[in-house]
Structure 1
């Protein structure tokens, strides 16, 4: 997918050019929009206040000269703001002119979000202050407005670090100061504070609640018009004197439901006197039902079970931090998730920008919404901050049909208290805090009974209290998932206290993984590595255990020190290599609602000629009718020790099918080739018309002893080089299964041809798998363990000892020449230093010790002719010398038969 406008804005435009536009010009709240409004984004005057002197020196009057400019609404310190982070307090100012046509109404300035304490003045008159970093607030300008005249709007933001504030992961990029759209709007003299729509699809109606900012001083009529039905539906209600809200129902016959496939939105207008607000809602229902044919509870959309396949969305932009550069970029974020077959995201410990939620509504993607966390203790100020922000989040985002759950806390962050135990300080999740967490669950349910609520998305020894979803986090190497899931299934049942705190127990909640992956499952924190291999094993395992109603992978995109995303931080592509293993296979096959699993083990070593029984698990999470049978089409291909690939066996078998089936079809029996190499059993699940429903595969390292006819191969291991000379570094991997040379240099190999009939050879060539070799940070410096990477401690993406950066759009080529007996024979450019699913052998031979050694890395099969003259010389000396020499600083990695993509050692091949 290519960005249509701003893939990486900071590299496309200079700050000056971009500042001539109004960034994010669209109305920031399509779910709550008035016609009379003016966007105040753009260039503002700006000044840091490191000594906190602005208040005493009357900067609020707007008469003081500010020495900088900033591009609002980007947080200071971000590239797009144009301002470096130099202090904790800063001031903004600009001139505004209020349209004379607004006279007679109330004029407000609204700030979408500003972190943390924000105070606003107009022509030196203080309008008010607000504390909190994530939700919108407004101040009434009306008493001080001179309509049609230029006036000075001044804003002071104090973002001094406070432990009780909801900081989230802002260490990855602080949302300092104004970070959402600032705008003026005209409201009626009596105006609506909020209008909430609660759909009731079972009764073909929607319940409407209209709110005032204060109690009514007299009876006030509210009119709501719903559009999208065959004819508009209009209904009146009255907010009676002394009340600040009214609740009423509107019938919607034959309601057009909002779904992932058809995300239909009803638009609405709410009118209160001279105040009119445009909004929208979706007719949809969130509930819990059993997976058909089982007693497993599942999250349901419109009374139908949903197998949730989500990703953790940290929702950061490299140049704007919490703030995206354009509306188009936000749309593309939603499209990215849908493009790989996901049905939802979890916006992680950030109250999301409303326009991104709008695109989730518009395009059909589910959202789990997190309350941001503090990093202090759960003392009184922190509790007040959390409760306030929770209320404001729900108030703002109530109408977004995409949101299906609220998550109040994450991994007990901000919920532990330092206590003394046996003379030592320990951080404990105290019973009193657990009771408060349970009370926050009930508070959330009282504010919004139409969605599911999690008390705490649990990890690291903490459990649930009261919750609608039995969620859990686990980061494991791929090979550990089978035992983990079997144990979890045994302990998951109504009444179980497993994963619950003392005094609480499991009810009939859906069981979902709400964070998973491999990256934190290996020693030494995160690392940049091919995500697909362990992901493949994990998905194969998950689909064997339908008691778990869904999962959430960490994460949507890389961010700062977490390099485990489907996309890079700049949203460029990572290359999985799947389509080159099985034609047509993509990441979407891992997310197919109908899935054919071969179990956790996706590679194994077998003897040549052995008969192997491949287990099958058919998992349907779809209501779609596809007939009573599906066809499993399989093909066994074999790549021999010369890198030659051929089809060894083909076949098919029928399997019974019905919606939501969970079954174990008869295994596939295949006899392996007798020659050594790499075999791949490729699987296609088809309906009876031949349409491919799903693709998968499993691989076999074959240790055959049979030799190829009329061929003689003289091989050496990669580590058996006779000479190596490198400008930067030379080292070996896993006792020489692969050897690396970084910088400029060469490897030399000597092949003993004594005893061979070189004179009779019709053809001779040198065969080797090689790639470029980038010198990664992990290979030249020590990874700094123990840092708090959650709070933004920085490291190079390749610094972690487990990392091997995955293949992406950035190439690292190396030009090499191959010399035979001192004569240059061939020059070739090795396109990259890749690592992805194609590196089957380098994944297969990893040790199961929670460490990775260049996993997934592989090279390019290189074939270099050896001339008749060279063979004659070899016949005299009994040997051939081959040198692999770089012609630049790109380095070389040499792979052997047990590492990389091709099951070959460096070899001289003679054919007769």
Structure 2
């Protein structure tokens, strides 16, 4: 194997090292209409197992952020509003928690009576949490999406008690399922949500109480099976459990069973004659009361509910495999709901906001929601049950690359998810994997889910075939094995799916039509959709897609999921804006079009329900000339200036961007705020821009706000685009590199000098395809890394390998060993760079040390194609033979 290829010394790979993360942030303060409302604390967070004697612990808690070594945090007066993630505006904090940090919560609560038991419940905490009561460890939990709780009876006393919760969250850097959260969100990933993000509550219960209820309807047998699990800590005589089913005020069924001492489970089968079936058209719910009784005394009473419904695959009158609800073919017309909020992130601003999303989707005429890679608070599923919407529930995928331990964590969490959400009639489909994200053992896992929960369909892999612009990205082997569905994703327009016997044909995602709405954007600099169209064209595009779906439906299609109901951060492909304020299509139009595919459902007629304002299709870039006239007449309103700059930028009118940008920056009262710096960075493209001098003259100040090396990299990027010769061979020009170095260094200081030194180094390396000059390459390698070692713009391993192979100056080679070792110590532990370091040591006559490092590199390549090559190199070192080319 060619060692050059093995080292991948290609110029495109060299310009990849950046140690300042790009910042993707919202325009200052995007809020929903529910922002500022005090959340109601009287709504029980678990409608499937509801008690009357409980205390909501949401509200103001103390918090502190520490390193991971801290065991005894010191709390100040800093407070956070639970249950909002600390990264959200509604938390009152809006800070990022990194993997090397811990987030601690503290709150005091009062106990008046220590008789019986107290249960402390958490709706969800992301990700690892440990709970302490009055300084004593109670228990821990891992999993960012599922509820947990502890019996804290033996840890409490009358009067004031203290809760401390310790949280660690690796977000997208660990083995944990994390959904679409990212520390540095971009493209299809969004701002992370760390810590407590669902309700915390306390229950006062009998020591003997109901632990869980499981309901399984059977509409063909007109019955419901009820499994009740109990906690029985005391031996009590005459213990009974009673179940009562009602429809409204009418009692339908009642049964009482005696509990044998020591048993903790009871099973009922209750007849439900002439059952009123649950469906999107008639989402009827039966109430279920379960009471634990001893000697005619009630020990515990919980309220629950269930829906009589059935979901399966059957053949229609034409012999096509279809999705049937309650033995009736039902087209699943859905939309991909991600469950993010601009002010609350993972947490809806209020319970009304939580229900609003389902109401809005149903009001638009959809009968299905695909809940995408997130598990919602249980009240969301309660509203789905109550309002009548079919839910395809995604499991939260394991991380990309499947790091060691991630499979076991994923399988544990999918089982817990099924257990947690089993009773909700709205959930009709489990979605195992999405577009190959962390996918593995699909056949085994799909089969396991179908056996574990035979009451639902299983979509083993949504988008296993993914089309973008009619191009198939990859062809999987044995697709949709064991699945109930053949599911493809097709962007933007829907297309036909393959036919497989016994499986329904569905389009798990399509659409993604992006429309930006002025003043309703998370980030007005980086809106995104699969297709970006003018607002006037969206209704035409949607109508064409509906016509296509109807054609496909006649040929066997059973479901389609449109991307998506709401914009999410930089994705502007929602039918409604991220703040839920503007609907981009006339409501009557989209509802009428959706009725082509799905049976119409009752409209939401609640007096206080308002879906959104209609989009003003005239408020677009066509107003540019009108706003420009205002600007030329002296109008310096900041919103007008910002809009003019962004429109000019889209029109590639850099001269106008520079001119208006100068006025805009001069009007800023706080130019060094993070949001303003992000915007200034975005519009700064030339050395003539005001922002360039701002970044050049305030490097340290800006880096404190934006992150390490942001200023330096911003300046260097601009210089490389406008002042420094391009990174390509130009045979028409001969550069006076000495003069360029002198001029750029004098004008732009040490950052300018670093930039031009890097360009000269590459010029002499031969990596641009020109004839190398190894002596000058070595000289400029030293000059460049003397300045840029802590913030190089090139991959150190890639640029150091040709130096090892071709430079003979021992001083330069010795310097290179220090450069490569610095990279190893700080960010790169790949076998390739260990190999480079070992070879440099060998060439500088440090062979024994070289053997040690090459052995480490070899160990990391075990089982890979490089193992043989590294073994040969190691043997040459042991034989004291050169490992570099011999002329």
Please, what TM-score do these two structures have when normalized by structure 1?
Answer: 0.57
TM superposition shift of 1:294: 1.3
Cα distance in 2 for partners of 1:23, 1:196 equals 28
TM superposition shift of 1:225: 1.3
SS in 2 for 1:355: helix
SS in 2 for 1:191: strand
Cα distance in 1 for partners of 2:148, 2:396 equals 18
Cα distance in 2 for partners of 1:538, 1:76 equals 40
Report the counterpart of residue 306 of structure 2 in structure 1: 281
CA contact (8 A) 2:365 2:600 kept: no
1:447/1:211 CA distance change after superposition, 3 Å: farther
CA deviations over 1:307-334 (Å, ceiling 9, x no partner) = 1100000111111011001111122111
SS in 2 for 1:549: strand
TM superposition shift of 1:82: 0.7
SS in 2 for 1:358: helix
Cα distance in 2 for partners of 1:248, 1:13 equals 43
1:457 equivalenced with 2:474 (yes/no): no
Report the counterpart of residue 211 of structure 2 in structure 1: 193
SS in 2 for 1:444: helix
Cα distance in 2 for partners of 1:537, 1:200 equals 40
CA contact (8 A) 1:218 1:242 kept: no
After the TM superposition, which residues 137-156 of structure 1 pair with which residues of structure 2 at under 5 Å, given as runs?
A: 137-147=148-158, 149-156=159-166
Report the counterpart of residue 88 of structure 2 in structure 1: 78
Cα distance in 2 for partners of 1:520, 1:408 equals 27
More helix by share: 2
Report the counterpart of residue 569 of structure 2 in structure 1: 560
Structure 1 residue aligned with 2:483, among 444, 467, 488?
A: 467
**CA-based RMSD:** 3.4
Structure 1 residue aligned with 2:135, among 115, 124, 130?
A: 124
CA contact (8 A) 1:518 1:534 kept: no
CA deviations over 1:430-473 (Å, ceiling 9, x no partner) = xxx3xx32222233223321111112212443432221122111
Structure 1 residue aligned with 2:650, among 753, 778, 785?
A: 778
1:48 equivalenced with 2:72 (yes/no): no
SS in 1 for 2:583: coil
CA deviations over 1:564-608 (Å, ceiling 9, x no partner) = 111000112234369xxxxxx6111221146xxxxxxxxxxxxxx
Report the counterpart of residue 94 of structure 1 in structure 2: 107
Higher relative contact order (CA 8 A, sep 6+): 2
SS in 1 for 2:419: helix
TM superposition shift of 1:182: 0.3
TM superposition shift of 1:67: 4.2
1:226 equivalenced with 2:245 (yes/no): yes
SS in 2 for 1:312: strand
1:309 equivalenced with 2:333 (yes/no): yes
After the TM superposition, which residues 608-687 of structure 1 pair with which residues of structure 2 at under 5 Å, given as runs?
A: none
CA contact (8 A) 1:173 1:322 kept: no
1:242/1:448 CA distance change after superposition, 3 Å: farther
Cα distance in 1 for partners of 2:87, 2:267 equals 44
More strand by share: 1
TM superposition shift of 1:381: 1.8
1:772/1:176 CA distance change after superposition, 3 Å: closer
SS in 2 for 1:203: coil
Structure 1 residue aligned with 2:126, among 115, 131, 139?
A: 115
CA contact (8 A) 1:216 1:243 kept: no
TM superposition shift of 1:741: 4.9
SS in 1 for 2:647: coil
SS in 2 for 1:446: helix
After the TM superposition, which residues 429-444 of structure 1 pair with which residues of structure 2 at under 5 Å, given as runs?
A: 433=440, 436-444=441-449
TM superposition shift of 1:218: 8.9
After the TM superposition, which residues 423-822 of structure 1 pair with which residues of structure 2 at under 5 Å, given as runs?
A: 433=440, 436-459=441-464, 460=466, 461=474, 462=476, 463-476=479-492, 478=493, 484-485=495-496, 488=497, 491-494=498-501, 508-519=502-513, 526=530, 528-529=532-533, 530=535, 531-545=538-552, 546=554, 547-576=556-585, 586-593=589-596, 741=625, 744=628, 775=647, 778-780=650-652
Q: Which runs of 5+ in 1 are unaligned?
A: 1-7, 416-432, 495-507, 579-584, 595-620, 625-729, 731-737, 747-770, 783-793, 801-912
Cα distance in 1 for partners of 2:543, 2:486 equals 24
Cα distance in 1 for partners of 2:528, 2:89 equals 30
After the TM superposition, which residues 236-385 of structure 1 pair with which residues of structure 2 at under 5 Å, given as runs?
A: 236-237=256-257, 244-273=264-293, 274-291=299-316, 293-379=317-403, 381-385=405-409
CA contact (8 A) 2:462 2:487 kept: yes
Cα distance in 2 for partners of 1:739, 1:269 equals 61
CA contact (8 A) 1:518 1:535 kept: no
Cα distance in 1 for partners of 2:355, 2:652 equals 40
Please, what TM-score do these two structures have when normalized by structure 2?
Answer: 0.58
CA contact (8 A) 1:475 1:520 kept: no
TM superposition shift of 1:779: 3.2
Name the count of aligned residue pairs.
Answer: 555
TM superposition shift of 1:23: 5.2
Report the counterpart of residue 674 of structure 1 in structure 2: none
CA deviations over 1:826-878 (Å, ceiling 9, x no partner) = xxxxxxxxxxxxxxxxxxxxxxxxxxxxxxxxxxxxxxxxxxxxxxxxxxxxx
Between 1:396-405 and 1:551-560, the stretch displaced more is 396-405
CA contact (8 A) 1:23 1:325 kept: no
SS in 1 for 2:544: helix
1:405 equivalenced with 2:429 (yes/no): yes
Report the counterpart of residue 5 of structure 2 in structure 1: none
CA contact (8 A) 2:30 2:342 kept: no
CA contact (8 A) 1:311 1:554 kept: yes
CA contact (8 A) 1:286 1:452 kept: yes
Cα distance in 2 for partners of 1:156, 1:284 equals 42
CA deviations over 1:109-143 (Å, ceiling 9, x no partner) = 11100001111111101111111100000011100
1:204/1:77 CA distance change after superposition, 3 Å: same
Cα distance in 2 for partners of 1:512, 1:116 equals 33
CA deviations over 1:591-640 (Å, ceiling 9, x no partner) = 1146xxxxxxxxxxxxxxxxxxxxxxxxxx6699xxxxxxxxxxxxxxxx
